[in-house]
Copies of this chain bind each other. A is one copy, B any other.
Amino acid sequence: MVVTPWKVSGKVDYEKLIKKFGTQPLTKEILDKVKKYAGKLHFLLRRSFFFCHRDFDWILNFYESGGRFILYTGRGPSGPVHIGHILPWIFTKYLQDAFNAKLYFQMTDDEKFLIHHNFTIETSISYMYDNALDVIAIGFDKNKTKIISDVKNMGLMYKLTVKIAKHINFSVVRAVFGFEDSTNIGLIFFPAVQAAPCFLESELTGEAVPCLIPAAIDQDPYWRVARDIAPKLGYYKPAQIHSKFLPGLGREGKMSASEPETCIFTTDSPEVARRKVFNAFTGGQPTIAEQKKLGGVPEMCSVYHYLYWFFEQDDAKIKKVWGDCKSGRMLCGECKSILADKVEAFLREHQKRREKAKDIVEEYFLTNV
């Protein structure tokens, strides 16, 4: 199992990650509080896609006593967006709505350029704009959402970023991120850039505003560094709520853009998406007869995972899918068809919103707070 900001591979043991990273599991008390403010508990919480945290309980107490907090998440624009990327964004929108929170959404177009040998800066910027359309398509409130393109918007962040950078030395980034003598100085500086949005609201408004980061757990090393230096800057330590990874349509592991047949891109045509679903790895038996007799194995079925983690948010219905599969009542083809229809409906709607986003994308970028 490898889980770093650059690589996730192997079968991820999330219990082990909680121990390794020193995070806290989400308690019933926390979930009850979220439910109280959101009206209902998001299926990604009910189903433990978001599964651990740091200081989320503290942030909720802060909110309960009348304080406000900001949300911060982001995306490294190194290619097209797939549905594994947007799952945490959908959850972030839920938090934005529930807590009326301002969101900083960082596009690390600088880092993606710096890390990919074959990228020009224009490649990065072009993906940044492309990916921003997906962010906007999620439906974030324009008046409470600031997209930060590091390349475009560093003007407003650089002062804070150098304040952060002064507290981080090479030993630290070597230990935390595995940087080497051959690492370029842009990447070495970058952890300061990724930490900056944690404190940007406080820095620019002069009001101490804590920050909650909903993101996949592979980004945790950045937040550990940010938490270490927060007190030195006089700001609150950023809180996190960590998600798992949406598995790919292949045998196992995180959905990855580098294996395009195993993930559904937001720009895939409905036909392409359907094909990918129908080619997916399932937990079905080799023959119809065996399937009817023995039932399927949804635990290891990527089609079931897709329904469970994304497309079938109704708990009763997903339970029925599980039972019908286990009992052999439902065959894989039928199940794939259910998923394909839902994926298609989702993509049609998302792509419509994505198209509309083209007219307003500039309005989302950070020009002030």
Contacts and interface: CB of A to CB of B under 8 A. Distances in A.
Interface stretch (A50-58, A133-141, A149-157, A311-319): A149-157
Contact of A183 (B162, B169, B182): B169
A150 to B, nearest CB: 7
Contacts of A167: 184
Contact of A166 (B114, B154, B156, B161): B114
A174 to B, nearest CB: 7
Given A170-B185, A185-B170, A159 B114 contact: no
A200 to B, nearest CB: 14
Copies of chain A in the complex: 2
Interface of A: 110, 113-114, 121, 150-151, 153-156, 158-159, 161-163, 165-171, 173-174, 179-186, 188-189, 191-192
Contacts of A185: 165, 168-170, 173, 188-189, 191-192
Interface-central residue, A121, A174, A189, by most chain B CB under 10 Å: A189
Given A165-B184, A168-B185, 6 more contacts: A113-B166, A158-B158, A161-B186, A166-B184, A168-B184, A169-B184
Contacts of A170: 170, 179-185, 188
A130 B110 CA distance: 32
22 contacts: A110-B158, A113-B162, A113-B163, A151-B162, A154-B155, A154-B158, A155-B155, A155-B156, A165-B189, A166-B186, A168-B184, A170-B180, A170-B181, A170-B188, A171-B181, A171-B182, A174-B181, A185-B188, A185-B192, A186-B189, A188-B188, A189-B189
A189 B191 CA distance: 12
Contacts of A192: 185-186
